[in-house]
Structure 1
Amino acid sequence: MHGWDLGLLTIAATGAGTVNAVVGSGSLITFPALVAMGYPPILATVSNNVGLVPGMGGAVYGYRRELTGQGPRVRRLAVAAGLGALIGSLLLLCLPSAWFRTIVPVLIGTACVLVLVQPILARRPAAEGRRGGAWLWVGVFATGIYGGYFGAAQGVVLIGLLGALTTEHLQRLNAVKNALALTVNLVAAIVFVCVTTVDWQVALIIAAGSTVGGLLGSRYGRLLPPAALRAVIAAVGLLAMADLIAGSR
């Protein structure tokens, strides 16, 4: 890897870690950068996934205060996320990706809508009883499959599900999102390391940059008011949709 590529990837990884902590979709920064450098898509996806794990760990650490009292919820949903990631990572190694890209923009778009209407849903009288039951578990499981398979914008989908099916402050939901995204990437990374080839130079560069970005993103992302955070999530989600639709043509 040349010096220019090293610098570009480090900057991209730092940006990805920051975006993952605040919103999700950091892979939409690092994955295109790797492809532009000439890495095959599968190798880029696998190495990117492994490298982003430490950055997501930094984001979880940064949001540790918002995770207080949410242990049972996180543990229950982490099981769903981990099982989904196991399936998704195996699908990545076995199936072509063309069919999956068709539904992903729709999924991300739906999540953006859920994020934006979450305040309305939370004001409904029935909302007081919502704590995220079987539907949320299934939704997180399905998102885990997607996260293990490709992963870009899984944070947007997760925050949309959590906001629509639970009653909680958005920043606390963002902390849960970070924990679930870490679970997905960690399980997928273990599968990739055991089964296929990882470019460890790329993974280590992304790990270093994304860790710094994850700590920065969690530090400043926690200060955003809910309305601003929703706007950022929706904007990133729309950009993710546009990127995926353009890439499928």
Structure 2
Amino acid sequence: MTPWEAAAILVAGTAAGGINAVVGSGSLITFPTLVALGYPPVVANVSNNIGLVPGSITGTWGYRRELAGRSKLLLRLGSASLIGSVIGAILLLRLPDEAFKMIVPVLIVIALVLVVVQPKLNGWVAKRRKEPVSHGGALLWGLVFLAGVYGGYFGAAQGILLISLLGIFLVDEMQTVNGIKNGLSGIVNAAAAIIFILIADVDWWAVLLIGVGAMLGGYLGASVGRKLPPWALRTVIVCVGLTAIANLVFG
């Protein structure tokens, strides 16, 4: 690894940590970076997942005030994220590499569409939240489980999936919803990371650089990310996502 490559991964990890704390989809920064630097897609995905775990922790910690009194909800929905993540991670490791190369471009397209339409989704959520809603029950648990499977397998835009689901089903303020989203995303990433550490091929230098950057980015994202223009984040995410698709399809 050259110094330039190390710097690129560190910067990408910092950006991803900040974006994950505020919007989600940080993996659409780090994963394409690793692929562009020549990492095999599955190795890039596994190393990226492990490296982003510290950023999930600091991002959740940054929203600790909003999460006060929501521990029971986090535990209930966290069980769905945990189970789903384990299944997704096992699918990633059991399916052939060729399947990953075919599936991930589709997942990236879905993720990019979610990134682009997020403002309209948020507007729909805001209207929906004017009506009395329940805590979600079994339906929300099942949907969070599916988001966990997605997150364990690939993970990009799982934050957008979660914040949309939570915003629809819960009565909390949106900043609290964002904090819950960070916690659930952290559970998904951590559970998948444990499996990957035990049985997958990991590039630990990439993990270290992404991890250091993600910790810094997660803290800064939770602290000042609310002031950043969302359109700028979405533009960057879409650009790197399209780059990732090009690398996977034509590389």
Shift of 1:103: 6.0
Q: Does the Cα contact within 8 Å between 2:28 and 2:241 map onto a contact in 1?
A: no
Q: Which residue of 2 aligns with 1:92?
A: 92
Query: For the residues of structure 1 that align with 2:76 and 2:159, how far apart are their CA atoms?
Result: 18
Equivalent residue number for residue 118 of structure 1: 125
Distance 1:103 1:32, change over 3 A: closer
The 5 A counterparts of 1:95-244 are: 95=95, 96-97=99-100, 98-99=102-103, 101-102=105-106, 105-106=109-110, 109=113, 112=118, 113-124=120-131, 128-222=132-226
What's the offset of the Cα at 1:154?
Answer: 0.6
Q: For 2:226 and 2:12, how far apart are their aligned partners in 1?
A: 22
Displacement of 1:26 in angstroms is 0.7
Identity %: 43
The answer to whether structure 1 residue 72 and structure 2 residue 68 are counterparts is: no
8 Å CA contact 1:20–1:56 kept in 2: the answer is yes
| Structure 2 CA distance for partners of 1:205 and 1:240, relative to 1, 3 Å | closer
Q: Distance in 2 between matches of 1:248 and 1:198?
A: 19
Displacement, 1:135?
1.2
- Contact 2:163–2:181 (8 Å) recurs in 1: yes
Q: How far does the alpha carbon of each residue in 1:29-75 deviate from its partner, in whole angstroms, 9 at most, with x for none?
A: 11111111111001111011111100110101111001011111111
Residue 5 (1) aligns with residue 12 (2): no
SS of the equivalent of 1:123 reads coil
> What do the CA deviations read for 1:68-101 (whole angstroms, capped 9, x no partner)?
1111111100000000000000111122122465
Higher mean C-alpha displacement, 92-101 vs 57-66: 92-101
Q: Is the 8 A contact 2:27 2:48 kept in 1?
A: yes
Are the structure 2 counterparts of residues 82 and 99 from structure 1 closer, same or farther at C-alpha, using a change threshold of 3 Å? same
8 Å contact from structure 2 (residues 32, 243) kept in 1: no
TM norm structure 2: 0.87
Q: Does structure 2 conserve the Cα–Cα contact (< 8 Å) formed by 1:80 and 1:140? A: yes
CA distance in 1, matches of 2:161, 2:239: 14
Paired AA for residue 166 in structure 1 = L
Stretch moving more, 168-177 or 215-224: 215-224
TM-score w.r.t. the length of structure 1 is 0.87
Alignment CA distance shift 1:36-1:102 (3 Å): closer
Match of 1:118, as an amino acid? V
Alignment partners' CA distance in 1, 2:248 and 2:52: 24
The separation in 1 between residues aligned to 2:5 and 2:83, in whole angstroms, is 35
- Given that residues 111 and 156 in structure 2 are in contact (C-alpha distance below 8 angstroms), is that contact kept between their aligned partners in structure 1? no
Structure 2: give runs of 5+ residues left out of the alignment: none
> 1:52–1:99: structure 2 CA closer, same or farther, 3 Å change rule?
closer
In the TM superposition, residue 119 of structure 1 has moved relative to its aligned partner by 1.0
